């Protein structure tokens, strides 16, 4: 079981779209920068034909990270980030170095923030 300190540094990333390859690209960028929770580190499963699919992974944003490299996307993806306010903004900044990021909504609470983003190729 994760300690409260470990949970505080984790950000849940949920992607939705039509392409497993695009989800792999986003998770690949994030996985190169931050360790993923082993339970969510597996490659995304295939999408349901003709329907949007949701993929999810949890990343620990504590500690040093590598600089992200841009990755191409075949089509835009929707990304939802959920976690501590500072950690969510940190992960958003990493995504913004690899993709064009458009903010599409925010929800903030005392201890948690959620961002709704649209990711596109640079």
C-alpha span between 115 and 119 (Å, rounded): 12
C-alpha span between 78 and 73 (Å, rounded): 12
For residue 109, tell me if it sits in a domain: yes
Residue 39 backbone dihedrals phi, psi, to 5 degrees: -70, -25
Q: How confident is the model at residue 91 (pLDDT cuts 50, 70, 90)?
A: very high
- Please give the average per-residue pLDDT across 13-31, as a whole number: 91
CA distance from start to end of the chain: 38
pLDDT at 3 over 60: no
For residue 3, tell me if it sits in a domain: no
- Please give the average per-residue pLDDT across 10-24, as a whole number: 91
For residue 2, tell me if it sits in a domain: no
For residue 5, tell me if it sits in a domain: no
List the one residue out of 86, 75, 80, 91 whose CA is nearest residue 34. Answer: 91
Q: What is the pLDDT of residue 62?
A: 87
Under DSSP, the state recorded for 17 is E
What's this model's pTM, rounded to 2 decimal places?
A: 0.84
Count of domains in the chain? Answer: 1
Q: Which domain holds residue 75?
A: 10-120
- Please give the average per-residue pLDDT across 90-114, as a whole number: 92
For residue 2, what are its two tokens? 């994760």
């Amino acid at each position: 079981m994760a300690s409260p300190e470990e949970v505080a540094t984790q950000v849940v990333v949920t992607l939705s779209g039509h392409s497993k390859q695009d989800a792999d690209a986003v998770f690949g960028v994030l996985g190169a920068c931050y360790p993923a929770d082993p339970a969510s580190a597996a490659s995304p499963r295939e999408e349901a034909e003709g329907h949007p699919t949701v993929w999810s992974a949890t990343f620990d944003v504590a500690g040093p990270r590598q600089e992200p490299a841009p990755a191409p996307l075949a089509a835009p993806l929707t990304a939802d980030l959920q976690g501590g306010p500072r950690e969510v903004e940190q992960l958003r900044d990493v995504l913004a170095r690899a993709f064009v990021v458009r903010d599409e909504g925010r929800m903030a609470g005392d201890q948690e923030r959620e961002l709704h983003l649209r990711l596109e190729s640079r």
